[in-house]
């Protein structure tokens, strides 16, 4: 969970995820204690939806980092591999809002060789 908290913190300024996540976890915990399944499920939905939002925001941040550090192999590879990992992970969320076709489209932008990428129209390929 430590890394997820760090990811959430790092995009909080852009999407305001921290308070939403904290409040949903607190609401969910209280609902479980009070055996309120409706409130529990509402909190769960908020957590899942917000988690996907901040994961997407972090993925975008990694892609921007790759572009900003394009000339530095280590920085570029770190950012691309993390960003690609997020893209791949979206496929395993049964409640995802991104479609499998959109995930495949994003995956298609990247080669399997991160030494062989270029920036085209402001994007890394």
Query: For 18-66, what is each residue's pLDDT tens digit?
Result: 999 999 999 999 999 999 999 999 999 999 989 888 888 998 899 889 8
The pLDDT value recorded for residue 122 is 53
Q: Are 17 and 11 in contact (CB under 8 A)?
A: yes
Helix (H) / strand (E) element for 84: namely helix 73-90
The pLDDT value recorded for residue 20 is 94
Give the mean pLDDT of the chain. 87
Contacts 24+ apart (CB under 8 A), 59-62: 59/83, 59/86, 59/87, 61/10, 61/11, 62/86
State the pTM of this model.
0.78
In 10 A of CB 121, how many CB atoms?
5
In 10 A of CB 21, how many CB atoms?
20
Q: Grade residue 125 by pLDDT with cuts at 50, 70 and 90.
A: very low
The pLDDT value recorded for residue 1 is 55
């Amino acid at each position: 969970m430590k890394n997820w908290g760090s990811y959430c913190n790092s995009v909080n300024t852009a999407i305001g995820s921290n308070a939403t996540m904290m409040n949903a976890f607190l609401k969910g915990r209280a609902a479980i204690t009070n055996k309120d399944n409706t409130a529990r499920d509402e909190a769960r939905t908020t957590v899942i939806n917000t988690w996907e939002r901040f994961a997407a925001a972090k993925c975008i941040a990694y892609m921007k980092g790759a572009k900003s550090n394009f000339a530095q192999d280590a920085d570029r590879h770190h950012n691309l591999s993390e960003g690609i990992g997020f893209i791949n992970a979206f496929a395993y969320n049964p409640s995802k809002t991104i479609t499998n076709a959109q995930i495949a489209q994003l995956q298609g932008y990247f080669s399997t060789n991160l030494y062989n990428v270029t920036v085209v129209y402001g994007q890394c390929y």
